[in-house]
């Protein structure tokens, strides 16, 4: 049987976490076990033709990830592709910002091969730890020809999600990952890939974003809207070099009159403003809750504030023009 080589990149997180007691699922140290250690319990269940290439990238909780971390991961995948030519990739990481890494890679890396990002809600030492099964499923998915061309996927709790759509939705439940708007793209039925639909938006090979050789991404900040919010955060972000702002708006991405005045200044200074919603679901469309044509802002489509930030970071490497930016938000 021909070998299937899967590169597993470990970055830490709860999937590599340890607690003092197996009954403790909340007080633990993340990023303790190596990627090789987290793979040990599932090795007996891997098909004989699957060969793992394990690369320890870091031991870092994902709340500490930055845009530089994303660039480093894209670079690591590209180098492995060039030097080892694996058949698929698995990235293990903390769950807190997993959806941001996954969407970044979905837009930025240039490979048709399966890339699966996976984490765990419980430390590796827990009774009923979810990491080993999630990781086994991630390797099985990355090794499947069915997963080719689907971009970056996330596997959690036996479901397969597309990177654009998935979100962490619970502080501690093992059923935290979901896609409230679109659902999963398929299931890992006892290790067998069962696909039900394709990711609808462009990604990887069809994306114009290329981070090869980039040492940093444009600084983009998120402004959270709430009753009575002032514009101090907008002013502070601008004075600290923000090149783009994502508005985590109330309802359909509404902007209060106080925020509007500060955003107008930003747009006049050439800093694009993208309207998203803090509600957690729904579509913020152009010229919906406000007239983007007149104001010069951009609608985030169905992207959450944190995902809109990922796309804006990448889009700003190509343009600052609001009409072109809107085109990216309509298509990616």
The binding site for ligand DAS (CB under 6 A) comprises 13-14, 30, 61-63, 94-96, 119
Q: How far is the CB of 75 from ligand DAS (least distance, A)?
A: 21
Taking the least distance from each CB to ligand DAS, the nearer of 30 and 165 is 30
Which of 63/321 has CB closer to ligand DAS?
63
CB nearer to ligand DAS: pick between 95 and 276: 95
Q: Which residue is nearest to ligand DAS (CB)?
A: 94
Q: Which helix (H) or strand (E) holds 89?
A: strand 88-92
Q: How far is CA 35 from CA 29, 115, 142, 214, 272, in A?
A: 15, 16, 16, 27, 40
Which residues, listed in sequence order, are joined to residue 275 by a DSSP beta bridge?
247, 299
Q: What's the min distance (Å) between Cβ of 188 and ligand DAS?
A: 19
For the chain, the distance separating the N- and C-terminal CA atoms, rounded to the nearest angstrom, is 38
The tokens of 280 are what? Answer: 């957690």
Q: Nearest approach, Cβ of 216 to ligand DAS (angstroms)? A: 22
Minimum distance from CB of 13 to ligand DAS (Å)? 3
Cα dist from 37 to 12, 15, 23, 125, 320, whole Å: 11, 10, 20, 12, 45
Q: Which phi and psi (to 5°) does residue 50 adopt?
A: -95, 125
Whether 279 is a known active-site residue: answer: no
State phi, psi for 100 to the nearest 5 degrees. -75, -45
Quick one: angle between helices 67-83 and 98-108, nearest 10?
50
Of 11, 14, 97, 250, catalytic: 14
Beta bridge partners of 301: 284
In the complex, the smallest distance separating the C-beta of residue 124 from ligand DAS, rounded to whole angstroms, is 11
Quick one: CA torsion of 39, 42, 48, 49, rounded to 10 degrees?
-50
Q: What is the DSSP pairing of strand 220-224 with strand 167-168?
A: unpaired
Nearer to ligand DAS, 171 or 190 (CB): 171
Residue 100 or 221: the one with the smaller Cβ distance to ligand DAS is 100
Provide the minimum distance between the beta carbon of 174 and ligand DAS in the complex, in angstroms, as a whole number. 11
Whichever of 99 and 292 has its CB closer to ligand DAS, that residue is: 99
Q: Are 37 and 56 in contact (CB under 8 A)?
A: no
Question: Catalytic residue positions?
Answer: 14
């Amino acid at each position: 049987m021909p070998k299937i080589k899967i590169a597993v990149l470990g970055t830490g997180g709860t999937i590599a976490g340890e607690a003092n007691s197996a009954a403790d699922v909340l007080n633990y140290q993340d990023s303790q076990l190596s990627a090789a250690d987290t793979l040990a319990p599932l090795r007996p269940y891997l098909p004989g033709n699957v060969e793992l290439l394990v690369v320890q990238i870091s031991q870092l909780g994902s709340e500490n990830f930055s845009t530089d971390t994303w660039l480093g991961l894209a670079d690591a995948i590209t180098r492995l592709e060039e030097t080892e030519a694996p058949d698929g990739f698995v990235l293990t990481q903390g769950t807190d910002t997993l959806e941001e890494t996954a969407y970044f890679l979905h837009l930025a890396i240039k490979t048709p091969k399966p890339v699966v990002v996976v984490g765990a809600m419980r430390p590796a030492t827990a009774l009923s730890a979810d990491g080993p099964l999630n990781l086994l499923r991630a390797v099985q998915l990355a090794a499947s020809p069915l997963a080719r061309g689907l971009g970056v996927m996330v596997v959690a709790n036996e479901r397969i999600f597309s990177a654009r759509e998935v979100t962490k939705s619970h502080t501690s439940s093992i059923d935290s990952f979901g896609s409230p708007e679109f659902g999963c793209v398929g299931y890992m039925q006892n290790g067998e890939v069962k696909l039900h639909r394709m990711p609808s938006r462009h990604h990887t090979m069809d994306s114009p974003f290329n981070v090869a050789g980039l040492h940093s991404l444009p600084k983009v900040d998120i402004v959270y809207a709430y009753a009575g919010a002032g514009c101090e955060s907008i002013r502070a972000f601008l004075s600290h070099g923000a090149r783009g702002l994502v508005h985590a708006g109330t309802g359909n991405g509404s902007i209060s009159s106080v925020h509007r005045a500060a955003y107008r200044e930003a747009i006049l200074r050439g800093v694009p403003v993208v309207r998203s919603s803090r509600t957690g679901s729904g579509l913020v469309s152009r010229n919906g809750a406000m007239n983007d044509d007149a104001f010069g802002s951009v609608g985030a489509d169905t992207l959450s504030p944190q995902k809109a930030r990922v796309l804006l970071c990448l889009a700003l490497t190509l343009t600052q023009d609001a009409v072109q930016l809107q085109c990216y938000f309509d298509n990616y």
